[in-house]
Amino acid sequence: MVNKFINGVDAVIIAVSGKGGTGKTMVSSTLVKLLAQTGKDILAIDADPDSNLPEALGVPVEKTVGDVREELKKDTAAGNIPAGANKWDILDYKIMESVIETPGFDLLVMGRPEGSGCYCAVNNMLRKIIETLSSNYDAIVIDTEAGLEHLSRRTTQNVDIMLVVTDPSHRGILTAQRIGELAKELEINFKKLYLVLNRVKKEDEEELRNKVAEIGIDLVGLIYEDALISEYDMEGKPLIELPDDSYPVKTVSEIVDKILNS
Which domains are delineated in the chain?
Answer: 12-261 (3.40.50.300)
- 107 membership: H or E segment, kind and range: strand 106-109
Position 122 scores a pLDDT of 61
Position 152 scores a pLDDT of 47
Position 227 scores a pLDDT of 92
Position 138 scores a pLDDT of 92
239 Cβ partners below 8 Å, 6+ apart? 25, 26, 29, 30, 56, 57, 229, 232
* Beta carbons within 10 angstroms of residue 182's beta carbon: 13
Candidates 55, 26, 5; CA nearest to 161 is: 5
Phi/psi of residue 83, nearest 5 degrees: -60, 135
- Report d(CA 248, CA 242) in Å as an integer: 8
Helix, strand or coil, per DSSP, at residue 113:
coil
Greatest alpha-carbon span in the chain: 67
Total-model pTM:
0.86
10-residue block means of pLDDT along the chain (262 residues)? 49 86 92 94 89 94 85 78 73 83 94 55 71 85 73 60 89 83 75 91 92 88 93 94 94 93 75
The C-alpha angle with vertex 145 and arms to 16 and 115, in degrees rounded to 5, equals: 160
Position 5 scores a pLDDT of 52
Position 141 scores a pLDDT of 95
- Report d(CA 214, CA 211) in Å as an integer: 6
Phi/psi of residue 182, nearest 5 degrees: -65, -35
